[in-house]
Structure 1
Amino acid sequence: MMDKDSNKTDRDELRGRFTRFMEVCIRNARCNYLKVQLRRVPTVSIEEVPELLLAEECKPSQVNNDDFDFEEEKLSEAFRTLPLMRQRILELLFVEQLSPQEIATCLNCSVQYVYNQRSLAIKALRSLITKLR
């Protein structure tokens, strides 16, 4: 009789552990699903867009070239504030379109240094441009 009660207790404990395990798995799956849904960009099928919206053309008066020029000026001003080595690395990357390995050879530095400086330069440009707005 003692063996039967012990066996039932073991099964109840196992059932309780499994139930808790499943609750945690389901909660984590829900959280992961919600994270994916929040990152997803909402899209609309072309069939759902009203024809009136598709027929509208962009009128020249709606495009303002002055805004673009102003943004370009802010970018060049922010670029000038970067240290010379970061400026040179960005020029080699984006203007001359060299690979980080080629830049490292050209500047006698490591490839990781090129990656680090590029990252720091882009971060600095972003923060400087947002400050100028």
Structure 2
Amino acid sequence: MMDTDKNEERDELRGRFTRFMEICVRNARFNYCKMLSREIPTISIEDVPEHILVEEHPPEYKSGRDFDFEEEKLSEAFRTLPLMKRRILTMLFVEQLSPQEIASHLNCSVQYVYNQRSLALKSLRRIIADRGDDA
């Protein structure tokens, strides 16, 4: 009687372990395929035909505005933000502090940091979009 209980228990554990391993292998295979699909196919520069590398006609630039200077637009928009919003964005994106660390530095709540970040980013988007329409 005891041996059959042990065998049944062992079989149940084997079944659970087997199912666990099947799921692990399936997930690992899925993650591997996902990683492969993200890779950008590349080609060695030596394999590119020379006629493709040599440009016969230089590009002609349109008169007027040749480029949009997004960094300049962003820095101008950033300067128009209130000081606290600028400070929070600087701490988040430049100093790479967490919202909890910022809240402790500024003696405010974490939710306040999240709210100010959200409002600042909305303001930046609006300012950049408005200036893009004017140009």
Q: What is the TM-score normalised by the length of structure 1?
A: 0.52
Work out whether 1:13 is the aligned partner of 2:42: no
Structure-2 change in CA distance of 1:126 and 1:23 (3 Å): farther
CA drift of 1:47 comes to: 2.7
- For 2:69, the aligned partner's letter is E
- Over residues 90-126 of structure 1, what are the superposed CA-to-partner deviations in whole Å (9 max), with x where a residue is unaligned? xxx7xxxxx85xxxxxxxxx4899x987897567545
* Corresponding residue SS for 1:67: coil
Distance change in 2, residues 1:40/1:122 (3 Å): farther
Tell me the residue number matched to 2:102: none
1:79 corresponds in structure 2 to 77
What CA distance in whole angstroms lies between the structure 2 residues aligned with 1:4 and 1:120?
A: 68
Q: Count matched residues.
A: 111
Residue 66 of structure 1 aligns to a residue whose secondary structure is coil
Alpha-carbon deviation of 1:52?
A: 1.7
Q: 1:43/1:18 Cα in 2 relative to 1: closer, same or farther (>3 Å)?
A: same
Using the TM superposition, give the Cα deviation of residue 19 of structure 1 relative to its aligned residue in structure 2, in angstroms: 0.9
Inter-partner Cα distance in structure 1 for 2:107 and 2:47: 48
Aligned-partner residue type, residue 28 of structure 2: A
Counterpart position of 1:32: 31
Q: Secondary structure at the match of 1:43?
A: coil
The 8 Å contact of residues 74 and 128 in structure 2, kept in 1 or not, is answered as: no
Q: Which has the higher helix share?
A: 1
Aligned-residue offset at 1:27: 2.2
Q: Is the Cα contact below 8 Å between 1:86 and 1:121 reproduced in 2?
A: no
SS at match of 1:36: helix
TM-score, normalised with respect to structure 2: 0.51
Closer, same or farther: CA 88–19 of 1 in aligned 2, 3 Å: closer
Kindly indicate whether the alpha-carbon contact (under 8 Å) linking 1:75 and 1:129 is maintained by their aligned counterparts in 2.
Answer: yes
Within 5 A, what are the aligned runs for 1:1-133? 2-56=1-55, 59-61=58-60, 63-64=61-62, 66-68=65-67, 71-72=68-69, 75=73, 79=77, 82-85=80-83, 110=105, 124-125=123-124, 128-129=127-128, 132=132
**1:13-52, Cα deviation, whole Å (9 max, x unpaired):** 1211111110121122123223423443332221332222
Would you say the 8 A contact 1:86–1:118 is kept in 2?
no
Segments of 5+ residues of structure 2 without an aligned counterpart are 96-104
Q: Is the 8 A contact 1:75 1:125 kept in 2?
A: no
